[in-house]
Structure 1
Amino acid sequence: MADAKKSDLGFEAELFKAADKLRGNLEPSEYKHVVLGLVFLKYISEAFESYHAKLTEDEYADPEDPEEYLAENIFWVPTEARWSNLRNKARDPNIGKIIDDAMEAIERVPANEKLKGVLPKNYARPTLNKEMLGDLIDLFSKIDMRGNANEARDLLGRVYEYFLSGFASSEGKRGGEFFTPRSVVKTLVAMLEPKKGRVYDPCCGSGGMFIQSENFIEDHGGRRNDISVYGQEINHTTWRLAMMNLAVQGIDAEIKWNNEGSFIRDELPDLRADFVLANPPFNISDWGGERLTDDGRWKYGTPPKGNANYAWLQHILHHLAPRGTAGVVLANGSMSSQQSGEGDIRKAMIEADKVDCMVAMPGQLFYSTQIPACLWILANDKSANGHRDRKGEVLFIDARQMGHMVDRVRRDFDDIEIDKIAETYHRWRAKAPDQPYEDEAGFCKSADLDAIRKHDYVLTPGRYVGAVDEEDDGIPFEEKFAALAVRLDAQMTESARKAGLIRRTLGRIPGGSQ
């Protein structure tokens, strides 16, 4: 661990395991903020110190001017808040207060306005073990972040994101509310390819959609500042996690918070995004629908008061630019529900040609629920953005058999599976793909509106893609059926014989059944 930059991808897992051992009896939901706050402090401190050293060597620069750091998206860190100070005082009995003071000092700097009210400041509470805090500081001090600033950001970004995932797993359903599994986010991002423009998430959780979007751009040779990031989050604690996560990743974003949420108090009412990526909470009933019956966002029908699924879809369409596309994760029931007018809303959306692609996902992908989910890919203009005109068509992908179990309760996708889903969609929408799109029985099917109407506007991919073709072994069906009938008859005869033997055996036992 002395040289983390040269280690393999198991580094984050090993670090998490080591940090988790120090948790003791502290609940994961509480410990999460303790650890992630320190990871954040470690990153901004060393990013500052590294750039401070660089400015010191430049005779035309002033290393004590906070404005010098703003241009590089680096936060100004006062002397008492620097990691070197914490490391030297890790065994001080007052280390909790020292950390709190460091967080407050960072927030007080005018140049750090974005961090105001974001950082955790309850390390001095009596219930927090100070030995544990010292151990965590020692542990994180072993991460080598000297050298290239981008490498340092990437390293701590990986650590922060892995820790978010680990804590979501530890917390189960409660933890899953702030974290969307990475493979689900990567699938959406790979399908939509947000290379340039405005990216919006109305329920952004810890910010994973934005980070994967930025990673996608860098992986494909683009520039981070080609996209602008906007979001809103209802949970203040989760909003703070997102703000720290994005800061560690070096992402400049406009993330709003209020305790009423995007439906009741939309903080970005005039935003029209080129890409929307969202994983709203599934099937929520207390979303405030009774207060919004005549809202202008409900262009395709008033959502039922007892379920927000179609409120989210219409809120997202409302915020979509004329040539924009959206990817939304919802519960499978959203594809077929007819209750409380949901079927009528779905019909209106389909007839308006807003649904571009539907992907059925397997169950057990999420920390918060075991139920299967689906991906809705929406498009305002199916002839835009250099793709072929897909008006009147919808692509259905059935990915329910994909993925692998990573433990007893959770499934995950690998990159090959993600690429298969994304490339199928890309070939289907492309004008002249290198490899033409073809329907694949049991996996994908391009259907027109007439076919969807025949299915009463139900969008479940399994209804369209059909069954996987069985390999022809040359044996006629009649012969196979006759053989199966003979086998079934023999099995039923044997079953009756064994049942009689059991009854006779029980009859010979005193007090047994006759």
Structure 2
Amino acid sequence: MTSGENATVAAGDIARLAGVGRAAVSNWRRRFGDFPQPVGGTTASPLFSLAEVEAWLVEQGKLRQLPQDEMLWQHVRNSVDDLQLLSLVSRLATAVAHRKLSSLLRKDDDKVAEALPNLLVGDNDVPLIRATAELARERGLAETVEFLYTRYTEAHSRRVQALSPEVARFMVAFIEPEATEVFDPSCAFGGLLLALVSRRDDGHEISAIRVKGQDRNTDAARLACARLTARGISADIQSGDALTRDAFPNLRVDAAVCAPPFNERGWGYEALTNDPRWEYGLPPRGESELAWVQHCLAHVKSGGQAIVLMPPAAADRRSGRRIRSQLLRTGTLQAVVSLPAGTAPQSAVPPHLWLLRRPGVGDGVPSHVLMVDSSEGICSDDTVRAWRSFRRGEKIDEAFGRTVPIIDLLDDEVDLTPVRHLPRAASVQVGNLDRAREEFFALADALPAALPDVSPGGGPLTMTTIAELVRAGSLQVEHTPMRMETESGDLRLLTVKDVTLGRLATGQGTREAGLVIGRPGDIVVPAITRHIIARVLDEEEALGPHLSLIRPNPEVFDSHFIAGFLRATSVRTAGSVTGSHRVDVRRAQIPRLPLTEQRKYGEAFRRLDRFEDTVRRTGEAGENLRRLIFNGLAGGDLLPDC
């Protein structure tokens, strides 16, 4: 592999290389005048030459030799742009897990390229494969693949949404020991399937003989397969959206386990109205999770299990009560376990775990459902033991759960929220209440400080338009194509919905003609929207259709200043009966102010955004506090003291 003279590292990378904290790197930059100067990046996130940093660390006695794994990672990271990093990592991991790689690497690069046509994109791929294989010989195959995965997730911590290993182990612990084939239809990087390797039952290790999975992200699916293969697990992982493009339509397994995406309205409702998977009822448009539950059940054998992570709202939303009722009446839904807040990777709310079983031929319908509250913290052994006792028809220790008659749940609400059916000790209830009270008051106390300081102004500002600034060369404006593929491909795309909801990119596409790449500091505006939204990018993003991008000259304009005034201006050109309108950003008006004044406005707008977020979180914390007090009073755990 080449030495990579142009390779760059961030401050976090330098800290890792030297085995110190980031604060130490900042201290070196201040104290040592000969510390390498930035060669790229931004003021807030500078990039340094890897060669210069390595030489400086060696000269200072802070590094004897650059570790082999870190050297490899820096070359990997610097070989492609950030948008292609997952693709490269997944291809390298797949290549080194290839069973014939050792013999292939004895041949020249051209022969290797011919043998691995689907894994090579750039000229440097074969040298990177050779370097990765060398590391695998030193550290082991599984350790090397995990190293690549871990480094990628650290580099893109904001993009990656994955279950923690602890939660994954907890979920798979409910799978029966006899299961020999397990399926995950939304497997991401394979965390749940990997957890099967270390699964234990009564002290005896159990291994799933075969695992199958699917994920809508091609690169994630490929990396999941490589992680499993590196551990000697027989795996068949396919790409594509499992709901709309099921890769295993005839598959029937012993168990399905899934942590699906929450609250997706575009899950395929219109196209799948008459799908045979909806055995328990057509999932409502706003209840994608009920589609995933039935998808899992459709792929398990008679008597097979489905373990699905669910948002708490799925337990009591009015729109889903018919399906919940059918799941109960048929004896399919057998337990609901509440988990701590933050357990789900894509949501901060405390999720639930639904334990389901496809009824076997001749099975009687159970009369009870097990309700367990693990919101205090995951306790796998006790909760799983309660589940196993319930399955054997034994009495449940009410410290860990309670069996609730199904007939009691089949009312107008069909509410499956565990805490509403469990007796709670006053001390535990008070502990929850104290934490909720502290969280609410801490957020409420932060509200005044979150507001920006303002003072009376001098009247209307002198304005100009985006179009005039474009003509003057101070700004650039680009528009993404009207038609683009956003549901398949190896490139993550930022969609209109992502911008509107303020979330990470969820679209998938390819590097087709007209693709617009946003840079840090660029401003993205949906072209058709109910309310004007302007989002400042803090990292490189590929943009999906119906978006406008504004790229200001940072020496002339503050991005947050422009974004704030974009949200305040009226730039409608065409309306609709739904209230949506087309946005022409060129007509938007921006004040003529010096950069120093712009930055003050930009900071004020940022603080208002933080204030809005704090208001939302305060409302959620207040509702949680209200619910705890109400349930405590109604259940007798609390007494009014007023």
In which range does the TM-score fall when normalised by the shorter chain? 0.5 to 0.7
Note if contact 1:104-1:121 (Cα within 8 Å) is conserved in structure 2: no
Note if contact 2:210-2:233 (Cα within 8 Å) is conserved in structure 1: no
Residue 245 (structure 1) aligned to one of 227, 237, 241: 227
Residue 191 (structure 1) aligned to one of 157, 174, 179: 174
Higher strand share: 2
Counterpart in 2 of 1:264? 244
- Following superposition, the deviation at residue 312 of structure 1 comes to 0.9
Counterpart in 1 of 2:186? 203
Q: 1:107 to 1:347 in 2, by over 3 A?
A: same
Q: After TM superposition, list the pairs within 5 Å mapping 1:328-367 onto structure 2.
A: 328-339=308-319, 342-367=320-345
Q: 1:191 to 1:165 in 2, by over 3 A?
A: farther
Deviates more, 1:308-317 or 1:215-224: 215-224
Q: Distance in 2 between matches of 1:183 and 1:256?
A: 25
State the SS of the aligned residue for 1:325.
Answer: strand
**Which one-letter code corresponds to 1:380 in the other structure?**
R
Q: Distance in 2 between matches of 1:102 and 1:329?
A: 45
- Following superposition, the deviation at residue 455 of structure 1 comes to 7.7
Counterpart in 1 of 2:214? 232
Counterpart in 2 of 1:62? none
Q: Distance in 1 between matches of 2:81 and 2:373?
A: 38
Q: Distance in 1 between matches of 2:142 and 2:408?
A: 46
Residue 157 (structure 2) pairs with residue 175 (structure 1)? no
State the SS of the aligned residue for 1:175.
Answer: coil
Counterpart in 1 of 2:289? 309
**Which one-letter code corresponds to 2:331 in the other structure?**
D
Counterpart in 2 of 1:446? 403
Q: Distance in 2 between matches of 1:468 and 1:163?
A: 46
The percent of aligned pairs where both chains have the same amino acid is: 24
Counterpart in 1 of 2:138? 144
Instruction: Please list the CA deviations of residues 303-336 of structure 1 after superposition, one character each: whole Å capped at 9, or x if unmatched.
Output: 1223311111111122221111110112221111
Counterpart in 2 of 1:459? 416
State the SS of the aligned residue for 1:263.
Answer: coil
Counterpart in 2 of 1:392? 367
Instruction: Please list the CA deviations of residues 433-461 of structure 1 after superposition, one character each: whole Å capped at 9, or x if unmatched.
Output: xxx53112xx5211111232358311111
Note if contact 1:38-1:137 (Cα within 8 Å) is conserved in structure 2: no
Note if contact 1:194-1:275 (Cα within 8 Å) is conserved in structure 2: no
Q: 1:307 to 1:437 in 2, by over 3 A?
A: closer
Deviates more, 1:161-170 or 1:320-329: 161-170
Note if contact 2:94-2:223 (Cα within 8 Å) is conserved in structure 1: no
Q: Distance in 2 between matches of 1:307 and 1:326?
A: 18
**Which one-letter code corresponds to 1:447 in the other structure?**
V
State the SS of the aligned residue for 1:359.
Answer: strand
Q: Distance in 1 between matches of 2:136 and 2:292?
A: 44
Q: 1:337 to 1:242 in 2, by over 3 A?
A: same
- Following superposition, the deviation at residue 32 of structure 1 comes to 4.4
Residue 121 (structure 2) pairs with residue 121 (structure 1)? yes
Q: 1:250 to 1:355 in 2, by over 3 A?
A: same
**Which one-letter code corresponds to 2:209 in the other structure?**
I
Task: State the TM-score, normalizing by the size of structure 1.
Answer: 0.61
Q: 1:454 to 1:301 in 2, by over 3 A?
A: closer
Note if contact 1:183-1:418 (Cα within 8 Å) is conserved in structure 2: no
Q: After TM superposition, list the pairs within 5 Å mapping 1:90-101 onto structure 2.
A: none
Deviates more, 1:25-34 or 1:365-374: 25-34
State the SS of the aligned residue for 1:310.
Answer: helix
Q: 1:220 to 1:164 in 2, by over 3 A?
A: farther
**Which one-letter code corresponds to 1:160 in the other structure?**
V
- Following superposition, the deviation at residue 363 of structure 1 comes to 1.6
Q: After TM superposition, list the pairs within 5 Å mapping 1:377-388 onto structure 2.
A: 377-381=355-359
- Following superposition, the deviation at residue 180 of structure 1 comes to 2.6
Residue 390 (structure 2) aligned to one of 428, 443, 450: 428
Instruction: Please list the CA deviations of residues 86-136 of structure 1 after superposition, one character each: whole Å capped at 9, or x if unmatched.
Output: 9xxxxxxxxxxx5xx57634436xxxxxxxx3x3533638xxxx9xx69x9
Note if contact 2:340-2:375 (Cα within 8 Å) is conserved in structure 1: yes
Counterpart in 2 of 1:76? 100
Q: 1:292 to 1:43 in 2, by over 3 A?
A: closer
- Following superposition, the deviation at residue 430 of structure 1 comes to 2.5
Counterpart in 1 of 2:513? none
Instruction: Please list the CA deviations of residues 32-59 of structure 1 after superposition, one character each: whole Å capped at 9, or x if unmatched.
Output: 4545544554555xxxxxxxxxxxxxxx
State the SS of the aligned residue for 2:222.
Answer: helix
Higher helix share: 1
Note if contact 2:265-2:285 (Cα within 8 Å) is conserved in structure 1: yes
5+ residue gaps, structure 1: 1-10, 45-74, 87-97, 109-116, 146-151, 403-412, 472-514
**Which one-letter code corresponds to 1:444 in the other structure?**
G
- Following superposition, the deviation at residue 284 of structure 1 comes to 1.1
Q: 1:231 to 1:38 in 2, by over 3 A?
A: closer
**Which one-letter code corresponds to 1:316 in the other structure?**
C
State the SS of the aligned residue for 2:214.
Answer: strand
Note if contact 2:333-2:357 (Cα within 8 Å) is conserved in structure 1: yes
Q: 1:122 to 1:304 in 2, by over 3 A?
A: farther
Q: 1:287 to 1:449 in 2, by over 3 A?
A: same
Note if contact 1:78-1:106 (Cα within 8 Å) is conserved in structure 2: no
Residue 86 (structure 2) pairs with residue 104 (structure 1)? no
State the SS of the aligned residue for 2:101.
Answer: coil
- Following superposition, the deviation at residue 253 of structure 1 comes to 2.3
Residue 353 (structure 2) pairs with residue 375 (structure 1)? yes
Q: Distance in 1 between matches of 2:422 and 2:339?
A: 14
Q: Distance in 1 between matches of 2:255 and 2:80?
A: 39
Q: Distance in 1 between matches of 2:420 and 2:361?
A: 26
State the SS of the aligned residue for 1:183.
Answer: helix
Q: 1:266 to 1:41 in 2, by over 3 A?
A: closer
Note if contact 2:338-2:353 (Cα within 8 Å) is conserved in structure 1: yes
Q: Distance in 2 between matches of 1:329 and 1:248?
A: 27
State the SS of the aligned residue for 1:423.
Answer: helix
Q: 1:38 to 1:451 in 2, by over 3 A?
A: same
Note if contact 1:195-1:227 (Cα within 8 Å) is conserved in structure 2: no
Instruction: Please list the CA deviations of residues 42-79 of structure 1 after superposition, one character each: whole Å capped at 9, or x if unmatched.
Output: 555xxxxxxxxxxxxxxxxxxxxxxxxxxxxxx11264
What is the RMSD computed on CA atoms of the aligned residues? 3.8
Q: Distance in 2 between matches of 1:283 and 1:216?
A: 30
Counterpart in 2 of 1:319? 299
RCO higher in structure (CA 8 A, sep ≥6): 1
Counterpart in 1 of 2:199? 216
**Which one-letter code corresponds to 1:397 in the other structure?**
V
Q: 1:285 to 1:138 in 2, by over 3 A?
A: closer
Counterpart in 2 of 1:67? none
Paired residues in the alignment total 362
Note if contact 2:261-2:346 (Cα within 8 Å) is conserved in structure 1: no
State the SS of the aligned residue for 1:324.
Answer: strand
Q: Distance in 2 between matches of 1:41 and 1:25?
A: 17
Q: 1:235 to 1:41 in 2, by over 3 A?
A: closer
**Which one-letter code corresponds to 1:182 in the other structure?**
P
5+ residue gaps, structure 2: 1-18, 20-66, 429-642
